[in-house]
Structure 1
Amino acid sequence: MPLDTNNDTSTTDGSSNKRAATEGEEGWTTDNDVEAEDVATDPITSDVLKLTQQELGELSLADQEQVVYDLYGFSGPVDESQPGFVEQKMEELQKALDQIPPRRKTAYSMALGINEAYVTNHSFRLQFLRADRFQPSPAATRMVTYFETKLDLFGRDRLCIELTQDDLDPESLEILYMTWFCDLPVRDRAGRQVVVQLSKPGIDCYSLPVTQRMRVLFYTLCVSARDPETQKHGRVALLWVAGSLGKASSLWKIAGMYASSPVRIQGCHLCVDIAHGYSTPIVSIVQLSMNSMLRVRVRRHIGTPQEIFYSLMTYGIPVEFIPIGEDGEFAHQLHTDRWKRIRTQEQWLKQLQQQQQQSFVSQTKAALPQPVGATVATNVQAVDKAALMEKADAMVMANRNNDNNLAANSIGNTTVLVVVDTPTNHDVLMGKGRGAHEHVGNILFRNLIEKCRPQYDAATKTQKTQLAKDIVRIVKEEWKGRFLRDDVKGWIPITDELTIRRKVSVAFRDARKAPKGKKQKQQQAAATEITQEEDELLLPLEDPTWENQPAIDMVVLKA
């Protein structure tokens, strides 16, 4: 299919009257209705458009179609279910890493020397393969760039650890919490995570050193990489411009960091709020600073917030969750609460890691044979503690990125609770409120319930039990979804089959629409009472309650 190389989606009101021009901070006079006039007077924008058209022309027809699919959310993840597929790609990734000249992978080699178990961890490397759709050579380059960037920003001591907010300096934390980056609580129609980068008057993070801003961006990219669903589907980035973007040199550095991200960016939308004015060259420099694969996936949206929202909706982005009102004001509290919750989860995980390390070392010590006449102290001194810690760290990393459908994992005597930060579009949320009711997975679930309701109403008790099991199987196995309950820490997967089956029975009962007539209401109430009695018979007498569940000691952030 032919590819439209015009990446400007500026909005107009349908008339020939132009909005008042505004003076950009670089002294450029910008017309906010027709970008073509900007191109005529702005050589930077003209060069960017020419470069983008040239790069698109160099792509094959299949790659051009892939760009369109990525932008509109039609691209699916790579099928990893083929036997031996991932293992083969892992071997090819190692060969690609070996072929990179030593001078270009200094940080990677340093990391191997510090903690080989961390660098060679299967789940860790899988992030980079997924980021480049299992192309070994680009994935190897991305991985090497990742370590180079991490070394420059955080130093040698943090090169082989999973970054948390405790690793950010005070200035970086200030930027993180002042709404510079904001992940939406829901995914787009393609199951991709959406991140909004904000720029508005009053958020003066752009006056802070560029190093701090780069640390925050790198940290947020690493947080998103913890999510296996985001690894598979990628992210969509929205740059909301409603004020200064800072110096062009800092923009170049920050935009270039996406090449080191362990998660690919499927599309980038430059959203310009004309109410605050903007500088066309600065917006063009943002696009120019990106690598070619991202630059061809950029679209501009210029207008009022409402006009921008209408334009973004065509790309499958859930605009109702963007924390920006029609007046351009920002909902700051939701963003702050999310990062506070993530910090709490990180602190719990750190406690778990320390417990695992201690348990691993203790078990290894106990398994070592003690020479005759040797004291316990002598035997302990013979243990390579550093090596044991590295292996324990690798175990935690593997558990953190483990891609499964379980809510709790037992490690030794510790029960680990999995917390979902951003539910997928096939997850069913068990909670009250508008957010859960309008979640895509809940809508699909209600449609499934409504489709099966006639069969359920006419079924015997045994048949109802089997039908409830079939619905649970469809959600888990065919949709690859989960049943999640709301918790102060986040969304918690429900693994108890009896509890899930009860939720399904309640859903069938709720699907019976309440009639308006008094007589019909009485009939409906009687039918509901009978259904409740039938639902109780679906569950064995030993149905466990939440009080009887294992005690939860730790929390793991996972999708």
Structure 2
Amino acid sequence: MSILNQSFNQQDSCFGFCNDAPVTNDSRPFHHMLKQMPKEDALPAKVKQEKQEMDNLLSQALTKLTFEEREEHQEVIHGVKDTNIEDESLLYPALQELESHLTNTKSDSVYEIAERMDPAYVRARPFRVMFLRATEYDAKAAADRMLRFFELKDQLFGIDKLVKDITIADLDEEDIDYLKQSFTQLAGKDRSGRQVTVHFGSLLGVLDSNKTLQNVLRAQYFVFMKALQSEETQIRGIVSIWYAIGNLHAKSPKGYYEHFMAGRALPQKRAAIHVCVDDMKQSAFCSIVVKVMPAHMRARVRTHYGSLTECKYQLSTYGILPESLPLDANGNINPDQQLRWVNSCMMEEQLSNAGQSLPKAFEPITMPNQNDVFFTGGQVTNHLGNQRFQALIFDCSQAYDSGTDEMKRQIIGDIIVRTHEVGGRFLKPQGKGANKIWEEVPTENLRKKIMQAFRNRRRRLDAFKNKATLIVGEPLPPDVVFGRAQRNPGNDLLLRLIKDQSQVYESLNRGVKIRLVEGIMKTIKDQGGRFLEPAPVKGRWVEVSVDNAKERISTYFRNHRRSSKK
């Protein structure tokens, strides 16, 4: 029987995040579940009920676990559990048990055909360990998954490719075209360094496409197996985001079952599952799917309801960076990252076939992680890696400015080491748009750039000292603090005043607008507020000039106008 046509037990998980319980001969339950979807006129109240019911299910799943199990699931889903360490003592007995299970179950299977074709391929230790990691060293589950894996591979690529790693050259033009449509993407790493994948279309299948289901499954097979080339991803697992918000709803249930069965065959370990929905049907179906999950999988599922902005915020609380979602400001898929990744895969294979490889310092990087430091020619960035880098510069600045040349070299070396320890690299951009990639800065240039960062900090500090007196201590509640990511109660007052006066501001000519700005400044000052900005000294602030404050408030009005138009 085809693996894509096998039925499964309702106690199995879904989306491919399943336990490896035996597959029964029951008919496909998802078809029955789809018939249970609420009617359009009953959806609003029903969705609220389904959401509450699903929240209860997820809560009940946690209550059925022991305290230690709950703690472990919480640590895993938030990425704070150290899963990057593998106990080698588990592997040898698990490999022996895996061989025993395969010997007892491989008869008349596609696995047996593959073993006859190339025993070294199917018995290779790294290949088998990948399946053990996916099932957390459950040898029987790993054996069952290996049997399904070869059956899936046969159906997608044919028996001739059973015992070779699938490359982009094994995909046809339609497969690659679907791959470039970006409906399934590797979306960088979360804050704990785990691979993030994003699936658009989510629960009810795939987005409308002129490709066949075979094209879709072949492309997605390539994406996941490419990710699983990393041992770190095999060990730490994958964080999956199923996204169906705005115009990214699946229009039909095409392929949902086949995706599920394919997911059961791939050697992937799911660390967490995040479902983002805003559509009533998607929400209701989500609750139905969660019901058939086993309790241990429900504990790792989180559902997020609302707009793109709301879901980004909720995901960020689990260590998933907002930029992990490859979407533009309007909520449409941004294909640039995926196109760069596909081009990089093609380049890598061409060089490999020619027996060539690029030096590590010049390898193209298409998906920087959150700990990387970007050198972007002075452009402002709120990237986490850059924030950490600037914090190191601030912390070490006094010792650096007063130190000897030898001490300065040691400080720079320590900053490099501390960045590398958290998985960060020092990157510079190459190219633009879809052709934009990142390259690691060579060591000889890196030290110069860090020295320049210290000089820039010192110059900014000198400029502040000449302009105004530094303010010690935290801003007062009425103060307005200018700058990116700066929030204070005084800022909230300023924003309310701008919102209330925006229409009046737009109706005035330029000469009169400044009077309105001055009135707003007076209101804030009457409350005891000042207009501040962070100084390049940690924990210090400086009061900006009156003209500077006027210009910034005028900018706030312009930004409000632009956001209102959107």
Asked if these proteins are the same fold (TM beyond 0.5), I'd say yes
Q: Which residue of 1 aligns with 2:450?
A: 504
Cα distance in 2 for residues equivalent to 1:462 and 1:516: 25
Q: Which residue of 1 aligns with 2:422?
A: 479
Cα distance in 1 for residues equivalent to 2:184 and 2:339: 13
Equivalent positions of 1:142-541 (< 5 A) are 142-184=145-187, 186-199=188-201, 204-205=207-208, 208-242=211-245, 245=250, 248=253, 250-274=255-279, 278-284=281-287, 286-287=289-290, 293-324=296-327, 327=330, 329-352=331-354, 355=355, 408=359, 418-432=363-377, 437-476=381-420, 478-487=421-430, 490-494=437-441, 497-515=443-461, 517=463, 520=466
SS at match of 1:278: helix
Q: Which residue of 2 aligns with 1:70?
A: 76
Which letter does structure 1 place at the counterpart of 2:148?
Answer: T
Cα distance in 2 for residues equivalent to 1:474 and 1:280: 43
Q: Which residue of 1 aligns with 2:533?
A: none
* Alpha carbons of structure 1 residues 29 and 310: separation in structure 2 relative to 1, 3 Å: farther
Is the CA contact 1:256–1:289 (under 8 Å) kept in the aligned structure 2?
no
Q: TM-score, length-normalised on structure 2?
A: 0.63
Equivalent positions of 1:110-125 (< 5 A) are 110-125=113-128
Superposed displacement of residue 291, structure 1: 6.8
Bigger relative contact order, structure 1 or 2 (CA pairs below 8 A, ≥6 apart): 1
Which letter does structure 2 place at the counterpart of 1:423?
Answer: P
Cα distance in 1 for residues equivalent to 2:109 and 2:221: 19
Superposed displacement of residue 254, structure 1: 0.7
Cα distance in 1 for residues equivalent to 2:458 and 2:120: 55
Which letter does structure 2 place at the counterpart of 1:245?
Answer: A
Which letter does structure 1 place at the counterpart of 2:308?
Answer: P
Is the CA contact 1:268–1:299 (under 8 Å) kept in the aligned structure 2?
yes
Which letter does structure 1 place at the counterpart of 2:438?
Answer: W
Q: Which residue of 1 aligns with 2:100?
A: 98
Q: Does 1:35 align with 2:47?
A: yes
* Alpha carbons of structure 1 residues 37 and 52: separation in structure 2 relative to 1, 3 Å: closer
* Alpha carbons of structure 1 residues 468 and 117: separation in structure 2 relative to 1, 3 Å: farther
Cα distance in 1 for residues equivalent to 2:171 and 2:90: 37
User: Structure 1, residues 155-213: CA drift from partner, whole Å, max 9, x if none?
Assistant: 222222222333223443333222311332x4222222222211299x85367543332
Cα distance in 2 for residues equivalent to 1:306 and 1:497: 39
* Alpha carbons of structure 1 residues 73 and 479: separation in structure 2 relative to 1, 3 Å: closer
Q: Which residue of 1 aligns with 2:557?
A: none
Is the CA contact 1:259–1:291 (under 8 Å) kept in the aligned structure 2?
no
Superposed displacement of residue 506, structure 1: 2.6
Is the CA contact 1:256–1:290 (under 8 Å) kept in the aligned structure 2?
no
Where structure 2 has 5 or more consecutive residues not aligned to the other structure, the ranges are 1-35, 468-566
Is the CA contact 2:152–2:265 (under 8 Å) kept in the aligned structure 1?
yes
User: Structure 1, residues 222-258: CA drift from partner, whole Å, max 9, x if none?
Assistant: 1221334433432222222246536557312213433
User: Structure 1, residues 117-174: CA drift from partner, whole Å, max 9, x if none?
Assistant: 4334444444334434455554444444333322222222222222233322344333
SS at match of 1:332: coil
Q: Which residue of 2 aligns with 1:20?
A: none
SS at match of 2:264: helix
Q: Which residue of 2 aligns with 1:376?
A: none
User: Structure 1, residues 351-382: CA drift from partner, whole Å, max 9, x if none?
Assistant: 24xx38xxxxxxxxxxxxxxxxxxxxxxxxxx
* Alpha carbons of structure 1 residues 347 and 252: separation in structure 2 relative to 1, 3 Å: same
SS at match of 1:507: helix
Q: TM-score, length-normalised on structure 1?
A: 0.64
* Alpha carbons of structure 1 residues 485 and 306: separation in structure 2 relative to 1, 3 Å: closer
Superposed displacement of residue 57, structure 1: 5.8
Which deviates further from its counterpart, 124-133 or 218-227? 124-133
Is the CA contact 1:93–1:140 (under 8 Å) kept in the aligned structure 2?
no
Where structure 1 has 5 or more consecutive residues not aligned to the other structure, the ranges are 1-23, 41-45, 357-398, 400-406, 410-415, 522-559
* Alpha carbons of structure 1 residues 303 and 158: separation in structure 2 relative to 1, 3 Å: same
SS at match of 1:452: helix
Superposed displacement of residue 221, structure 1: 0.8
Cα distance in 2 for residues equivalent to 1:419 and 1:123: 26
* Alpha carbons of structure 1 residues 517 and 240: separation in structure 2 relative to 1, 3 Å: closer
